[in-house]
Amino acid sequence: MDKPTPPSRSRSAFLIPALFLGVISWLLYRNGESWLRQVLLYLSNAGWAREMVSNWSISWRVASRFVAGSDRDAAMAVTRDMNDAGLLITLDFLGESCTNEGEAYQARAEILRLLDDIDQRGLNANVSVKPSQLGLKIDPNLAFENICALVSKASEVGNFIRIDMEDHPTTDATLDVYRRLRYQENLSNVGVVIQSYLYRSEADIEQLIEDGARVRLCKGAYAEPAEVAFPHKPDVDANYLNLSRLLLSPAARAKGVYPAFATHDPKMIDDIKRYIQVNHIPSDAFEFQMLYGIRRDLQEELVKEGYRVRVYVPYGTAWYPYFVRRLAERPANMWFFISNFLRA
């Protein structure tokens, strides 16, 4: 990973981040975790914050916990180590919301090379892609062209592409790209992601079951208005479990649905495990998914119990938005950031 330029050791270079983190810590204490999440999700898209935080040397020290490195070689090394531990991988070349066609084509070229590297090195890994990185917000047809090239290449080398879901204004366009790949291009080695915090997700899941889709179920990591998303965590969690039941239902299994349950919440995982055991669902009919750098102990514990576990491993230099969303997801990650700053 290309490290941010180390700041000067001057007093002001220390005081600016110290003041920034101090204000966040104090407001967290006064306002609670839900407030912190909203602030961090705002900061994940704020250009001024990206420029400031990326230039703190401490930022990379913490971000490297969640990001494998700056290039494919670093990602390949991490993938090999995790494969050796019995973990499956999905690789993500970091980047989102490209601003022109050239950036979209550059991302496409990198991911094509990534698919070749996975094949040539014999790694057990597939690839996740963000539609906005490949041009969705410029022109949906541009994103379709690029993702189609990636899914076609993956098919040639016996691999699979997962289309990530981003913020809610892109949901319909993302699902449209997926269905065009399935039914217009007859490509079956492609899957999608559904977020349990969206009200619409049950209807989307029901349609995807009819499609026999490969679906990753996650809670969602973007700032969404209450008009489209559950504002409270207990409701998001309850919907997650409801959607997991749909994806594991006899009707879904009869259609060939293969679900991936993306969560680090032990209670959620235990609930899904109980449902699977009671209903005699084989362990190769689904998988659990988690993020690189979070709960490695739980990942390995599930592998020992005989479950499939896939780890989402990002790499690249565009780490800032991804990193800040990880801080937003779990307050413990924010305290980890602050404690590392104090030790710097």
Which residues make up each annotated binding site for substrate?
Answer: 130, 325-326
State the binding site: 130, 165, 195, 219-221, 233, 263-264, 325-326
DSSP character string of 48-62: HHHHHHHT-HHHHHH
Taking residue 239's Cβ as centre, other Cβ atoms within 10 Å add up to: 21
CA–CA separation, 206 vs 209, rounded Å? Answer: 5
Contact (CB, 8 A) for 189 and 154: yes
Residues contacting residue 68 through CB under 8 Å, at least 6 positions apart: 74, 75, 77, 78, 79, 292, 313, 314, 315
The β-bridge partners of 193 are 216
164 catalytic per annotation: yes
Catalytic hit among 92, 164, 204, 237: 164
Catalytic hit among 216, 253, 295, 310: 216
DSSP character string of 238-255: HHHHHHHHHHTSHHHHHT
User: Helix-strand-coil percent breakdown of the chain, rounded to 5?
Assistant: 60, 15, 30
State the binding site for FAD: 165, 195, 219-221, 233, 263-264
- Catalytic residues, by residue number, are 164, 216
